[in-house]
Amino acid sequence: MSSKAAAGVAGIVAVAWNSGLAMAAADPYQLNLPEPQTVIAQQIYDQHILVLWICLAIFIGVFGVMFYSVVKHRKSKGYEAANFHHSTTVEIIWTAIPFLILVGMAFPATKTVIAMKDTSNPDITVKATGYQWKWGYDYLTGEGEGISFLSNLATPKSQIDNAAPKGENYLLEVDNPLVVPTGKKVRVLLTANDVLHAWWVPALGVKQDAIPGFIRDVWFNIEKPGTYRGQCAELCGKEHGFMPIVVEAVEPEKYAAWVAGQKTKLAAVAVDINKEFTLDELKAKGEAVYSANCAACYQANGQGVPGTFPAIAGSKVATGAKAEHINIVMNGKSGTAMAPFKHLSDVDVASVITYQRNSFGNSTGDAVQPSEINQLR
Amino acid sequence: MAAVHDHDVAHAHDHHPTGLMRWLTSTNHKDIGTMYLWFSFIMFLTGGVMALTIRAELFQPGIQIVNPEFFNQLTTLHGLVMIFGAIMPAFVGFANWQVPMMIGAPDMAFARMNNWSFWLLPPAALLLLGSFFAPGGAPAGGWTIYPPLSVQMGMGMDMAIFAIHIMGASSIMGSINIITTILNMRAPGMTLMKMPLFVWTWLITAYLLVLVMPVLAGAVTMLLTDRNFGTNFFNAAGGGDPVMFQHIFWFFGHPEVYIMILPAFGIVSEIIPTFARKPLFGYSSMVYATASIAILSCIVWAHHMFTAGMPVTGQLFFMYATMLIAVPTGVKVFNWTATMWRGSMTFETPMLFAIGFIFLFTLGGFSGVVCAIVPIDIQVQDTYYVIAHFHYVLVSGALFAIFGGAYYWLPKWTGHMYDETLGKWHFWLSMFFFNLTFFVQHFLGLAGMPRRIPDYALQFADFNMISSIGAFGFGLSQLVFLYVVLKCIRGGAKATAQTWEGAKTLEWTLPSPAPYHSFETPPVIR
């Protein structure tokens, strides 16, 4: 090792910062945090740069001395060893100086931590729920109150299995993004349905674990319209890498239009509850619900994964009493990976159960109606 | 007294069994140390193969080699095997070989317990690795086995829990043995403040182990009863709290990372003065720094949980406490630098690994400070930045120190010099490929790549490919080490008792290879 190596590493670090400053969103050689889109993300970005400079200065100081010594104080150059082995003054100095540097770093960090935690007076509150493996969003207060939807990975399986060319936003695209207005304080309440997840959007400077049975909250206020992408950041099972988060920030007028559109959709779905469906209608609808919610574990053919996920084909539950089947779908089965699916609509639960009881070789002939599910709520 | 002595000599030369029974029934600190070291090397290769499978899958975007479920099993077992199977037993192996020789004792204090604490490890390892063949496969919830995910696993999780129990028992016994040996069996005149620094760091490490291993045992036992007996410690629906597991786990987990680095500090503090031909600078401040790091390590655990959500005062407390650790750690780096300053240095393989250690461990320390600052940690928590950070402190930290120590003491252990040229190749190849693997992971993490994912967005493709190439290079370089060690055992230039010109500690007063019972008459330290 030589002082050249030290200079080399220092050079790489320096290049990293400079190029990081002018970085596009999906640059394959992005070296730094993404371009900040909120006040907090900007503070994080700046503090990171500050800490890097301080570290670089210390690095050059310490390893400058060490590599000077490595080059000069060698036996092969005939250098005679000195015999000093302590100096109280020096030791006090190099204990005190790092302490003061750390205080200097902690000061701005403390202010940011306090600002991050201030979730008071939001314009809009959204609840984000982590499911294995998708996000659900419920607009609780503010403009858009009452809107609620699930947000699934939109990348087709064929791209993941290398059967089709991968798209530009491979693994970072969803069917229903979280839409928020710009210039408004949005508070996100986080919880989970089954296991831990974490809601992370780097450009917003927000990451928070979603914990089943508990509520945590974070906030952001996006200045510029745009699409900001993130991913689940807490290991949540086999599809952990496949539950992205997409936040679409739009101008307030566009947001109002989006809210109106969602309300119309919601009203259209609401009338269906007491309608009677035929077996075929339920099966057809159930197949779509099944592939979005069940196929990840039970597989598209209902055979499950031996040893890990039981088969639905020919299973006692799917061919036995209807009530028990409904109970397991609604409430899950504790101690197993089977999570409750109460969050699906009555129509979805009824149709997916009907589909499971009349597919993969199962033929109970049962048609479960949405009203039967509704009674259990 | 003379009679007793005669008996000892007779015992040493006549009665110990040979062949398999020598190893199964051994109560000798050197044989047991050897077994610990080979066990850890085998586990290192096992965990390494898992790491290479992970890196092979991540070579390109898309799913190619393993399915996501098996991928999660690999990341989980890679962590558990490397921590409990490779790094920790390697340091216990060093302690077994070196502590008695460095304090002028004949053997460890509890010779039979020493045998037992080693022989608990192979069954534990079989249980852990056997979980791959259990229905549902190995645990796939990450090495941190957070509930509720770990409650969802198959019986492989229960096997891992029992393996952790057994390895914990082994660690506790090993630590009690080390503490007793150090406190009671030092040669006359060797006061605590005259002990070699390696002995000091192990003494402190052993206390940490005794303190935290039972905490881990408690956490995994609660998990076991949650899984099998209907308790609700970590189940919110039954009044429990999943975050409580994280608090208990990290109360073990953070001291654990210092358990894996303090003995490394000790080894480096032996190597640097030897090859600088100059006494260690600031011996007493080194001891105090080690002790303060150990104490601080017990009050910083929640910095692993900044994104789990806690009150603002909690976040601030754990941030300040964590940042404080940089002070004693800095003192150590400055002391090593001052030891080298105006020495008369030579650069044999142990010295190269020791300098490589200081250089890269310091980089890992810098990224540690970055992670300690709450706002920045919010961005880097659970990303590849953290992966890069802890591999800088555990691979180029703990592992490089283990390699350095192995080269340093191999002549004493085998009686032969190792192949210096190949040793240097091993160092430079490891150094190059290690950085190729892990330096780019800082960039991946900052740019937004989460950890523990089997597939990633296209913008991360190039750095992942570089990292995978580095990983394979690093893995293959370790075969050089295996070859050097085997060659050194089988023959080579005779090592002298002193071996290294600048070495000052007691083991160098013994012949090479060291006799069966290290010091039969205690040396007197003035």
N-terminal to C-terminal alpha carbon distance within chain A: 69
Q: Is A208 on the interface with B (CB under 8 A)?
A: yes
B102 sits in which H/E element: helix B88-103
Closest Cβ opposite residue B334 in set A48, A73, A94: A94
Which residue of A lies nearest to B328 if distances are taken between CA atoms?
A95
Residues of A in contact with B448 (CB under 8 A): 34, 202, 230-231
Interface predicted TM-score of the whole assembly (ipTM), two decimals: 0.90
Question: Is residue B12's pLDDT more than 80?
Answer: no
Q: Is A332 on the interface with B (CB under 8 A)?
A: no
Q: What is the mean pLDDT of chain B?
A: 94
User: With helix as H, strand as E and coil as C, how does chain A read?
Assistant: CCHHHHHHHHHHHHHHHHHHHCCCCCCCCCCCCCCCCCHHHHHHHHHHHHHHHHHHHHHHHHHHHHHHHHHHCEHHHCCCCCCCCCCHHHHHHHHHHHHHHHHHHHHHHHHHHHHHCCCCCCCEEEEEEEECCEEEEEEEECCCCCCEEEECECCCHHHHCCCCCCCCCCCCCECCCEEEECCCCEEEEEEECCCCEEEEEHHHCEEEEECECCCEEEEECCCCCEEEEEEECCCCCCCHHHCEEEEEEECHHHHHHHHHHHHHHHHHHHHHHHCCCCHHHHHHHHHHHHHHHCHHHHCCCCCCECCCECCCCCCHHHHCCHHHHHHHHHHCCCCCCCCCCCCCCHHHHHHHHHHHHCCCCCCCCCCCCHHHHHHCC
- Chains A, B: CB pairs < 8 Å: 308
What would the pLDDT profile of B55-99 be if each residue is shown by its tens digit?
Answer: 999 999 999 999 999 999 999 999 999 999 999 999 999 999 999
**What is the structure's pLDDT at A2?**
46
> What is the band of B350 on the pLDDT scale with cuts at 50, 70, 90?
very high
Instruction: Give the CA dihedral B370, B374, B380, B383, nearest 10 degrees.
Output: 120
Is residue A349 within 8 A of residue A292, CB to CB? The reply is no
Question: Is residue B194's pLDDT more than 60?
Answer: yes
Residues of A in contact with B234 (CB under 8 A): none
Say whether B269 is catalytic.
yes
Residues of A in contact with B327 (CB under 8 A): 95, 98-99, 102
Which residue of B lies nearest to A77 if distances are taken between CA atoms?
B344
Residues of B in contact with A2 (CB under 8 A): none
What would the pLDDT profile of B252-280 be if each residue is shown by its tens digit?
Answer: 999 999 999 999 999 999 999 999 999 99
**What is the structure's pLDDT at A22?**
38
Per-residue pLDDT tens listing for chain A (377 residues): 344 444 455 545 444 444 444 344 468 888 999 999 999 999 999 999 999 999 999 999 999 999 999 999 999 998 988 889 889 999 999 999 999 999 999 999 999 999 999 999 999 999 999 999 999 999 999 999 999 999 999 999 999 999 999 999 999 999 999 999 999 999 999 999 999 999 999 999 999 999 999 999 999 999 999 999 999 999 999 999 999 999 999 999 999 999 999 988 877 776 666 778 888 888 888 888 888 888 888 888 888 877 778 888 888 888 888 888 888 888 888 767 788 888 888 888 888 888 888 888 888 888 888 888 888 87
Is residue A239 within 8 A of residue A133, CB to CB? The reply is yes
Q: Is A83 on the interface with B (CB under 8 A)?
A: yes
**What is the structure's pLDDT at A295?**
84
Which of A234, A236, A243, A309 to mutate to test binding with chain B, by most B CBs within 10 Å of its CB? A234
Say whether B303 is catalytic.
yes
Residues of B in contact with A242 (CB under 8 A): 68, 455
Distance CA B288, CA B301 (A): 21
Gyration radius (Cα) of chain B, Å: 23
Question: Is residue B3's pLDDT more than 60?
Answer: no
Question: Is residue B526's pLDDT more than 80?
Answer: no
Q: Does A236 sit within 8 Å of B285, measured CB to CB? A: no
Peptide bond into A133 cis (omega under 30): yes
Say whether B332 is catalytic.
yes
CA A101 to chain B, closest CA, distance in angstroms equals 10
| Annotated catalytic residue, options B30, B254, B278, B412 | B254
Question: Is residue B4's pLDDT more than 90?
Answer: no
**Nearest-CA neighbor of B254 among B287, B299, B217?**
B299
**What is the structure's pLDDT at A270?**
67
**What is the structure's pLDDT at A351?**
86
Average pLDDT over residues B296-300: 95
Is residue A58 within 8 A of residue A102, CB to CB? The reply is no
Query: CA A87, A92, A97 angle in degrees (round to 5)?
Result: 130
What would the pLDDT profile of B29-55 be if each residue is shown by its tens digit?
Answer: 999 999 999 999 999 999 999 999 999
**What is the structure's pLDDT at A178?**
97
